[in-house]
């Protein structure tokens, strides 16, 4: 179809409608002109397609899908090919579910280990982030499905995320916080970009012409469309459109559509600006609909195995003084609720309705394993009876494997962490077990950094991060040496929170300004 011909037949109201969603996930295309509506869906570590009740915080059910390791886990692979392959698998699933754009990858730089969405983000390093992201994008888009690279830009915290002002000097913005986006845009041509909620140096991202037009389009050559994060559009819809933010999500915001129509009619908005936005959106819509692969099917078992392989390559062995690999002939104690009910994904918009979840306890079926829960995940307080049971199991085993980490209540979209410590009952469990069993290995399941005051008291530490739905099988692959542990940390673990360069300035001041006073000195820098 000829896009300019389509635009010439659209009414002003249809053009305005196309610039905001039809509903929570669909675009409002001019179907009378033969342009079918398309759907976008959350990612990036698995599809979160919602057929009925919709939301952007992962509260309502979505269709069954494969849950892959989170970005924080996958980045530890340092493996471009793994990211490309992961993207291809996800793009294939999007075709099967008739999804035109997958909302991801999330490539913001980890300014602080307290960042609430750090489990989604890849690294503190712009080069690593850019290289991995562009391969993921190439993989997805090779399946003729678009991505929406997010969250553009300087979106480093969840606290006051709708209004906080990221105050960043030019060198820091360019070298640290824009660099990965630049690599992605120039090297993989993403179909869409998602602008963030926050302000950047006083201007909301959705209204930031310097960011969305001068840099993104004029400097880097981006030729897709920019969509808002869900609810990130400001009250001045016309100003957002003029800045280069084409698509408002979610819809339908009739008042904002009317703003556009009225502005064209009264001459305060040039119709050429609106037509350009419509053209950019239609180009991407047609790129998908004209090459749709409607016969595509998902092989959930094969994808589950792919999730296992990705986790195998990504988990990080932090310590081993000779205790690993374990032997299948040994008498083992698996201690900690996460051995039975693993924490394998983060909370919020990336939350996947997993096809199935394999725990370490399930994966160890047939081995001589005693299990003790050790703690209650609904509280942070220790239970003396559970600790005593755990110690008994540990004393009667050759090796105790303790499964601990961060709970869903402490780590999710919508909130930042306030501490790098694990819950008190997780800390107490490691201490209690290591006191009675010298052969103790700790498996950590969480999305980001923790402090480990107990690391000298145990013989091995496997950092599983949030390893996706096959996390239990992958954990055993590494513990028993079936797979060589090759993951390397993609972020710096401070010994204390105070050691992180952004510590004094992370949450911002009373004026809701977050000053990036540490400049380029992020993480290992």
Residues forming a β-bridge with 74: none
Nearest alpha carbon to residue 376 among 343, 338, 432: 338
Q: In this structure, is the dihedral angle defined by the CA atoms of residues 45, 49, 54 and 59, taken in order, positive or negative?
A: negative
Active-site choice (79, 98, 229, 477): 229
Q: Quote the CA–CA distance of 412 and 120 in Å, as a whole number.
A: 10
SS3 labels along 391-440: HHHHHCCCEEEEEEECCHHHCECCECCCCCCCCHHHHHHHHHHHHHCCCE
User: Which DSSP category does 202 fall into?
Assistant: T
Instruction: Judge contact between 425 and 379, C-beta under 8 A.
Output: yes
Instruction: Judge contact between 451 and 496, C-beta under 8 A.
Output: yes
Q: Quote the CA–CA distance of 324 and 57 in Å, as a whole number.
A: 39
Distance of CA 301 to the CA centre of its chain: 23
Instruction: Judge contact between 113 and 513, C-beta under 8 A.
Output: no
Residue 418 has a CB neighbour count (10 Å cut-off) of 11
Instruction: Judge contact between 406 and 343, C-beta under 8 A.
Output: yes
Residue identified by tokens 């008498």 is 331
The upper half-sphere exposure of residue 337, i.e. CA atoms within 13 Å in the direction of its Cβ, equals: 18
Tokens encoding 283 = 């180009």
- DSSP letter string over 460-505? EEEE--S--TTHHHHHHHHHTTSS------SS---SSGGGSTTTTT
Question: Among this protein's residues, is 229 annotated catalytic?
Answer: yes
Backbone conformation region of residue 196, classed left if phi is above 0, alpha if psi is from -120 to 50, else beta = beta
Q: In this structure, is the dihedral angle defined by the CA atoms of residues 286, 289, 293 and 296, taken in order, positive or negative?
A: positive
| Cα-based distances in Å from 244 to 132, 210, 224, 310, 359 | 27, 9, 11, 37, 46
The residues assigned a catalytic role are 229
């Amino acid at each position: 179809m000829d896009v300019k011909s389509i635009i010439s037949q659209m009414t002003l109201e249809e053009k305005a409608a196309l610039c905001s969603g039809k509903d929570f996930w669909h675009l409002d295309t001019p179907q009378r002109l033969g342009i079918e509506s398309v759907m976008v869906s959350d990612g990036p570590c698995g599809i979160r397609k919602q057929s009925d009740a919709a939301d952007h915080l992962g509260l309502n059910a979505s269709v069954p899908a494969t849950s892959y390791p989170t970005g924080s886990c996958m980045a530890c692979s340092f493996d471009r090919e793994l990211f490309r392959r992961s993207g291809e698998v996800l793009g294939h699933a999007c075709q099967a579910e008739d999804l035109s754009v997958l909302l991801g990858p999330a490539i913001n730089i980890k300014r602080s280990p307290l960042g609430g969405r750090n489990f989604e983000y890849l690294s503190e390093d712009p080069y690593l982030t850019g290289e991995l992201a562009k391969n993921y994008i190439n993989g997805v888009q090779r399946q003729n499905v678009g991505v929406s690279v997010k969250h553009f830009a300087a979106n480093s915290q969840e606290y006051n995320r709708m209004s906080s002002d990221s105050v960043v000097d030019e060198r820091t913005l360019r070298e640290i916080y824009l660099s990965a986006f630049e690599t992605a845009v120039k090297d993989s041509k993403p179909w869409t970009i998602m602008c963030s909620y926050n302000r950047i140096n006083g201007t909301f991202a959705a209204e930031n012409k310097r960011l969305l037009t001068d840099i993104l389009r004029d400097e880097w050559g981006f030729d897709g469309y920019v969509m808002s994060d869900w609810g990130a559009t400001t009250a001045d819809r016309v100003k957002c459109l003029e800045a280069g933010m084409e698509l408002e999500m979610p819809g339908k915001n009739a008042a904002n559509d009317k703003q556009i129509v009225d502005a064209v009619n009264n001459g305060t908005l040039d119709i050429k600006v609106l037509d350009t936005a419509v053209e950019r959106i239609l180009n991407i819509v047609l790129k998908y609909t004209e090459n749709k692969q409607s016969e595509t099917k998902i092989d959930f078992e094969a994808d589950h195995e792919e999730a296992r392989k990705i986790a195998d390559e990504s988990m990080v062995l932090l310590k081993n003084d000779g205790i690993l690999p374990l032997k299948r002939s040994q008498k083992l104690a698996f201690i900690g609720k996460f051995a039975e009910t693993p924490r394998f994904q983060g909370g919020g918009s990336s939350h996947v309705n997993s096809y199935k979840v394999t725990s370490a306890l399930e994966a160890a079926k047939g081995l001589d394993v005693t299990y003790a829960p050790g703690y209650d995940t609904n509280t942070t307080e220790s239970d003396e009876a559970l600790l005593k049971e755990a110690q008994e199991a540990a004393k009667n085993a050759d090796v105790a494997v303790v499964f601990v980490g961060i709970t869903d209540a402490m780590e999710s979209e919508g909130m930042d962490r306030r501490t790098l410590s694990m819950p008190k009952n997780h800390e107490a469990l490691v201490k209690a077990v290591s006191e009675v069993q010298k052969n103790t290995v700790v498996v950590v399941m969480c999305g980001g950094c923790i402090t480990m005051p107990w690391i000298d008291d145990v013989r091995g530490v496997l950092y599983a991060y949030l390893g996706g739905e096959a996390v239990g099988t992958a954990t055993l692959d590494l513990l028993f040496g079936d797979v060589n542990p090759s993951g390397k940390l993609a972020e710096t673990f401070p010994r204390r929170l105070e050691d992180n360069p952004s510590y004094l300035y992370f949450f911002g001041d009373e004026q809701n300004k977050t000053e990036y006073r540490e400049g380029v000195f992020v993480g290992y820098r």
